[in-house]
Structure 1
Amino acid sequence: MTSGLKAALAEASSPSWMQRVRAGRDLASFADVPEAAEVLVGLLLDVENTAVTRQTAEALARVGTMPAIRVIALAAAEADDNQADWLQTGVHDALVGPDGAPDVAAACRKLARDPEEAVRRGAADISTWTDGTRC
Structure 2
Amino acid sequence: MTSRLETALAEASSPSWSQRVRAGRDLASFAVVPEAAEALVGLLLDGEDTAVTRQTAEALARMGTVAAIKLIALAVAEADDHQADWLQTGVHDALVEPDGVLHVAAVCGQLTRDPEAAVRRGAAEVSAWADSTRC
Question: TM-score under structure 1 normalisation?
Answer: 0.95
Structure 2: stretches of 5+ with no match in the other structure: none
- Unaligned regions of 5+ residues in structure 1, if any? none
> Separation in 1 of the partners of 2:105 and 2:32?
19
Pair 1:109-2:109 in alignment: yes
Contact kept? 1:62, 1:100, Cα under 8 Å:
no
How many aligned residue pairs are there? 133
Structure with the largest fraction of helix: 2
Structure 1 position 3 matched with structure 2 position 6: no
Identity value in percent: 77
Partners of 1:29 and 1:52 lie apart in 2 by 16
Q: What pairs up with 1:1-135 in 2 under 5 angstroms?
A: 1-97=1-97, 101=100, 103-134=103-134
Measured after TM superposition, the shift of residue 94 of structure 1 is 0.4
Tell me the CA shift for residue 133 of structure 1: 2.3
Distance 2:130 2:84 in 1: 14
- What is the SS of the residue equivalent to 2:133? coil
Q: Take 2:14 and 2:65, find their aligned partners in 1: how far apart are those partners?
A: 26
Scaled by the length of structure 2, what TM-score is found?
0.95
C-alpha separation between the residues in 2 aligned to 1:67 and 1:117? 16
Runs (4 or more) in structure 1 with deviation over 2 Å come to 99-102
